[in-house]
């Protein structure tokens, strides 16, 4: 029985997405749902921007530490 559980792919099809969307529409209503999705989109965008900024700042720190070690080695 456990082998059957792991053999099925973890794929959400069109039917499942429509069911989830219908349930969300029933719970939140047609007026509130677009506002929720807009807020979710803003949150995801902000998260991606912050992740990009963090990775760029880490690269700058690495470059600065490499430059500082090269300066010490040349003195």
Mean pLDDT, residues 12-29: 89
Instruction: Say what the pTM is.
Output: 0.48
State how far the Cα of 28 lies from the Cα of 22, in Å rounded to an integer. Answer: 10
72 confidence band (pLDDT: 50, 70, 90):
low
State how far the Cα of 27 lies from the Cα of 22, in Å rounded to an integer. Answer: 9
Mean pLDDT, residues 13-17: 89
What is the greatest pairwise CA distance in the chain?
71
56 confidence band (pLDDT: 50, 70, 90):
confident
pLDDT at 1 over 50: no
Mean pLDDT, residues 43-70: 76
State how far the Cα of 58 lies from the Cα of 56, in Å rounded to an integer. Answer: 5
State how far the Cα of 27 lies from the Cα of 32, in Å rounded to an integer. Answer: 10
């Amino acid at each position: 029985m456990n082998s059957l559980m792991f053999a099925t792919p973890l794929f959400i099809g069109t039917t499942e997405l429509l069911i989830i969307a219908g349930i969300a529409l029933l719970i939140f209503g047609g007026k509130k749902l677009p506002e929720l999705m807009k807020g979710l989109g803003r949150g995801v965008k902000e998260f991606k921007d912050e992740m990009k900024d963090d990775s760029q700042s880490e690269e700058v720190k690495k470059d600065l530490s490499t430059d500082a070690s090269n300066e010490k080695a040349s003195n």
